Chain A
Amino acid sequence: ILNVEQSPQSLHVQEGDSTNFTCSFPSSNFYALHWYRWETAKSPEALFVMTLNGDEKKKGRISATLNTKEGYSYLYIKGSQPEDSATYLCASISGGYQKVTFGTGTKLQVIP
Protein backbone atom coordinates (compact mmCIF):
# COMPACT_ATOMS: atom_id res chain seq x y z
CA ILE A 1 0.00 0.00 0.00
CA LEU A 2 1.50 3.34 -1.06
CA ASN A 3 -1.45 5.60 -0.30
CA VAL A 4 -4.17 5.73 2.32
CA GLU A 5 -7.27 3.95 1.11
CA GLN A 6 -10.68 3.87 2.73
CA SER A 7 -13.55 1.53 2.03
CA PRO A 8 -16.34 1.61 1.32
CA GLN A 9 -16.62 5.04 -0.34
CA SER A 10 -20.19 5.40 0.86
CA LEU A 11 -22.63 3.51 2.99
CA HIS A 12 -26.34 3.71 3.75
CA VAL A 13 -27.54 1.96 6.89
CA GLN A 14 -30.79 1.86 8.82
CA GLU A 15 -31.02 3.47 12.23
CA GLY A 16 -29.97 0.92 14.85
CA ASP A 17 -27.67 -1.04 12.54
CA SER A 18 -24.02 -1.47 13.43
CA THR A 19 -21.43 -0.76 10.77
CA ASN A 20 -17.70 -0.63 10.19
CA PHE A 21 -15.24 0.92 7.76
CA THR A 22 -11.65 0.20 6.82
CA CYS A 23 -8.59 2.42 6.49
CA SER A 24 -5.49 0.91 4.84
CA PHE A 25 -2.19 2.73 5.09
CA PRO A 26 1.53 2.20 4.41
CA SER A 27 2.98 0.26 7.33
CA SER A 28 6.57 1.41 6.80
CA ASN A 29 7.76 4.35 8.92
CA PHE A 30 4.38 4.48 10.68
CA TYR A 31 3.98 7.09 13.41
CA ALA A 32 0.25 7.57 14.07
CA LEU A 33 -3.21 7.08 12.61
CA HIS A 34 -5.95 9.67 13.09
CA TRP A 35 -9.71 9.23 12.62
CA TYR A 36 -11.98 12.23 12.01
CA ARG A 37 -15.69 12.79 11.59
CA TRP A 38 -16.66 15.52 9.13
CA GLU A 39 -20.26 16.67 9.08
CA THR A 40 -21.52 18.84 6.26
CA ALA A 41 -20.90 22.57 6.84
CA LYS A 42 -18.76 21.86 9.91
CA SER A 43 -15.03 21.39 10.61
CA PRO A 44 -13.46 17.93 10.79
CA GLU A 45 -13.67 16.66 14.37
CA ALA A 46 -10.97 14.41 15.84
CA LEU A 47 -12.29 11.03 16.97
CA PHE A 48 -9.18 9.02 17.77
CA VAL A 49 -5.40 9.21 17.61
CA MET A 50 -3.83 5.76 17.53
CA THR A 51 -0.15 4.97 17.76
CA LEU A 52 0.41 1.46 19.08
CA ASN A 53 -0.07 -1.82 17.27
CA GLY A 54 -3.11 -3.56 18.71
CA ASP A 55 -4.51 -0.28 20.07
CA GLU A 56 -8.25 -0.19 20.64
CA LYS A 57 -10.03 3.06 21.43
CA LYS A 58 -13.65 3.77 22.27
CA LYS A 59 -15.80 6.87 22.51
CA GLY A 60 -19.44 6.15 23.23
CA ARG A 61 -20.82 3.96 20.45
CA ILE A 62 -17.76 4.44 18.25
CA SER A 63 -14.59 2.36 18.54
CA ALA A 64 -11.46 1.78 16.48
CA THR A 65 -8.70 -0.81 16.22
CA LEU A 66 -5.21 -0.56 14.76
CA ASN A 67 -2.88 -3.07 13.12
CA THR A 68 0.39 -1.34 12.23
CA LYS A 69 2.14 -4.51 11.02
CA GLU A 70 -0.35 -5.09 8.21
CA GLY A 71 -1.33 -1.44 7.82
CA TYR A 72 -5.04 -1.22 8.56
CA SER A 73 -7.49 0.28 11.02
CA TYR A 74 -11.18 -0.42 11.51
CA LEU A 75 -13.77 2.06 12.75
CA TYR A 76 -16.95 0.57 14.25
CA ILE A 77 -20.23 2.30 15.00
CA LYS A 78 -22.67 0.38 17.18
CA GLY A 79 -26.39 1.11 16.85
CA SER A 80 -26.07 3.87 14.22
CA GLN A 81 -28.12 7.01 14.76
CA PRO A 82 -29.07 9.71 12.20
CA GLU A 83 -26.63 12.11 13.89
CA ASP A 84 -23.80 9.72 12.95
CA SER A 85 -24.33 10.70 9.31
CA ALA A 86 -21.04 12.24 8.19
CA THR A 87 -17.87 11.54 6.25
CA TYR A 88 -15.32 9.57 8.26
CA LEU A 89 -11.71 10.30 7.35
CA CYS A 90 -8.52 8.61 8.38
CA ALA A 91 -5.05 10.16 8.15
CA SER A 92 -1.72 8.35 8.32
CA ILE A 93 1.21 10.17 9.91
CA SER A 94 4.66 8.87 9.05
CA GLY A 95 8.22 9.98 9.62
CA GLY A 96 7.35 11.93 12.77
CA TYR A 97 4.92 14.27 11.02
CA GLN A 98 7.04 14.63 7.93
CA LYS A 99 4.25 13.09 5.87
CA VAL A 100 0.52 13.36 6.52
CA THR A 101 -1.79 11.51 4.15
CA PHE A 102 -5.56 11.51 4.34
CA GLY A 103 -7.83 8.94 2.76
CA THR A 104 -10.77 10.05 0.63
CA GLY A 105 -13.23 9.17 3.37
CA THR A 106 -16.27 6.96 3.88
CA LYS A 107 -19.58 8.82 3.60
CA LEU A 108 -22.11 7.35 6.01
CA GLN A 109 -25.82 8.05 5.80
CA VAL A 110 -28.05 6.68 8.56
CA ILE A 111 -31.67 6.39 7.48
CA PRO A 112 -34.25 6.95 10.26
Chain B
Amino acid sequence: DAGVTQSPTHLIKTRGQHVTLRCSPISGHKSVSWYQQVLGQGPQFIFQYYEKEERGRGNFPDRFSARQFPNYSSELNVNALLLGDSALYLCASSYNRAGSDEQYFGPGTRLTVT
Protein backbone atom coordinates (compact mmCIF):
# COMPACT_ATOMS: atom_id res chain seq x y z
CA ASP B 1 0.00 0.00 0.00
CA ALA B 2 1.16 3.52 -0.76
CA GLY B 3 2.00 5.72 2.18
CA VAL B 4 1.00 9.35 2.59
CA THR B 5 1.91 11.31 -0.52
CA GLN B 6 2.39 15.06 -0.88
CA SER B 7 2.86 17.30 -3.87
CA PRO B 8 4.80 19.17 -4.95
CA THR B 9 8.08 18.17 -3.30
CA HIS B 10 9.63 21.61 -3.58
CA LEU B 11 8.18 24.99 -4.43
CA ILE B 12 9.56 28.50 -4.80
CA LYS B 13 7.14 31.42 -4.57
CA THR B 14 7.38 35.20 -4.31
CA ARG B 15 6.04 37.29 -1.42
CA GLY B 16 2.37 38.11 -1.87
CA GLN B 17 1.62 35.07 -4.01
CA HIS B 18 -0.71 32.23 -3.16
CA VAL B 19 0.22 28.53 -2.83
CA THR B 20 -1.71 25.25 -2.73
CA LEU B 21 -0.17 22.11 -1.26
CA ARG B 22 -1.74 18.68 -1.68
CA CYS B 23 -1.86 15.55 0.43
CA SER B 24 -3.23 12.06 -0.19
CA PRO B 25 -3.69 9.96 2.95
CA ILE B 26 -3.15 6.25 3.33
CA SER B 27 -6.10 4.32 1.88
CA GLY B 28 -8.79 3.97 4.54
CA HIS B 29 -7.56 6.85 6.66
CA LYS B 30 -10.18 9.54 7.23
CA SER B 31 -8.17 12.14 9.13
CA VAL B 32 -5.54 14.48 7.72
CA SER B 33 -3.45 16.92 9.73
CA TRP B 34 -1.14 19.65 8.48
CA TYR B 35 2.05 20.86 10.18
CA GLN B 36 4.63 23.56 9.49
CA GLN B 37 8.23 22.81 10.42
CA VAL B 38 10.84 25.53 10.53
CA LEU B 39 14.49 24.53 10.88
CA GLY B 40 15.48 24.04 14.50
CA GLN B 41 11.91 23.78 15.76
CA GLY B 42 9.40 20.99 16.15
CA PRO B 43 6.45 20.77 13.76
CA GLN B 44 3.72 23.33 14.47
CA PHE B 45 0.13 22.11 14.19
CA ILE B 46 -1.90 23.99 11.58
CA PHE B 47 -5.12 22.02 11.01
CA GLN B 48 -6.80 18.68 11.47
CA TYR B 49 -9.57 17.57 9.11
CA TYR B 50 -11.80 14.57 9.68
CA GLU B 51 -14.71 13.52 7.52
CA LYS B 52 -14.29 16.73 5.48
CA GLU B 53 -14.72 19.01 8.49
CA GLU B 54 -12.14 21.06 10.37
CA ARG B 55 -11.73 19.47 13.81
CA GLY B 56 -8.70 21.28 15.15
CA ARG B 57 -6.77 24.46 14.39
CA GLY B 58 -3.41 25.76 15.58
CA ASN B 59 -2.33 29.37 16.05
CA PHE B 60 -2.01 30.36 12.42
CA PRO B 61 -3.46 33.46 10.70
CA ASP B 62 -6.49 33.35 8.43
CA ARG B 63 -4.16 33.39 5.44
CA PHE B 64 -3.90 29.66 6.06
CA SER B 65 -6.89 27.55 5.04
CA ALA B 66 -7.49 23.94 4.13
CA ARG B 67 -10.13 21.57 2.96
CA GLN B 68 -10.69 17.84 2.71
CA PHE B 69 -12.33 16.19 -0.26
CA PRO B 70 -14.77 13.24 -0.38
CA ASN B 71 -11.85 10.88 -1.14
CA TYR B 72 -10.18 12.20 2.09
CA SER B 73 -7.33 13.92 0.24
CA SER B 74 -6.62 17.44 1.40
CA GLU B 75 -5.31 20.80 0.25
CA LEU B 76 -3.55 23.46 2.30
CA ASN B 77 -3.82 26.98 0.91
CA VAL B 78 -1.71 29.92 1.98
CA ASN B 79 -2.53 33.42 0.70
CA ALA B 80 -0.39 36.56 0.64
CA LEU B 81 2.82 34.66 1.26
CA LEU B 82 5.39 36.13 3.65
CA LEU B 83 9.09 35.33 3.89
CA GLY B 84 8.34 33.70 7.26
CA ASP B 85 6.11 31.12 5.57
CA SER B 86 9.24 29.44 4.19
CA ALA B 87 9.20 26.02 5.83
CA LEU B 88 8.66 22.31 5.40
CA TYR B 89 4.94 21.53 5.32
CA LEU B 90 4.07 18.07 6.54
CA CYS B 91 0.84 16.19 6.14
CA ALA B 92 -0.08 13.25 8.36
CA SER B 93 -2.99 10.82 8.16
CA SER B 94 -4.67 8.58 10.69
CA TYR B 95 -7.69 6.31 10.66
CA ASN B 96 -9.80 8.52 12.87
CA ARG B 97 -9.44 11.85 14.66
CA ALA B 98 -8.52 10.52 18.09
CA GLY B 99 -5.20 11.53 19.56
CA SER B 100 -4.75 7.88 20.50
CA ASP B 101 -4.33 6.95 16.82
CA GLU B 102 -0.89 6.62 15.21
CA GLN B 103 -0.17 9.26 12.62
CA TYR B 104 1.65 8.50 9.39
CA PHE B 105 3.58 11.37 7.86
CA GLY B 106 4.22 12.20 4.24
CA PRO B 107 7.61 13.34 2.92
CA GLY B 108 6.65 17.00 3.09
CA THR B 109 6.65 19.96 0.73
CA ARG B 110 9.57 22.38 1.04
CA LEU B 111 8.26 25.90 0.41
CA THR B 112 10.67 28.76 -0.17
CA VAL B 113 9.29 32.30 -0.30
CA THR B 114 11.59 34.91 -1.83
Contact = CB atoms under 8 A, between A and B. Distances in A.
A and B, one complex?
Answer: yes
Interface of A: 4, 31-32, 34, 36, 42-46, 49, 51, 89, 91, 93, 96-105
B56 interface: yes
By secondary structure, the A interface counts as: strand
Contacts, number: 67
A81 to B, nearest CB: 23
A105 B37 CA distance: 12
30 contacts: A31-B100, A32-B98, A32-B99, A32-B100, A34-B99, A43-B3, A43-B4, A43-B90, A44-B92, A44-B105, A45-B105, A46-B102, A46-B103, A46-B104, A49-B99, A89-B42, A89-B43, A93-B99, A96-B98, A96-B99, A97-B55, A97-B56, A97-B97, A97-B99, A100-B45, A100-B56, A101-B45, A102-B42, A103-B42, A104-B41
For the residues of B in contact with A, the DSSP-based class is: loop
Contacts of A36: 105
Given A31-B99, A43-B90, A43-B108, A104 B42 contact: yes
A47 B16 CA distance: 39
A43 B45 CA distance: 16
A49 B90 contact: no
A49 B100 contact: yes
Interface string B86-114: 00001010000111111111111000000
Given A34-B102, A93-B99, 15 more contacts: A4-B42, A31-B100, A32-B98, A34-B103, A43-B4, A44-B43, A45-B105, A46-B104, A89-B42, A97-B55, A100-B99, A102-B42, A102-B43, A102-B44, A104-B42
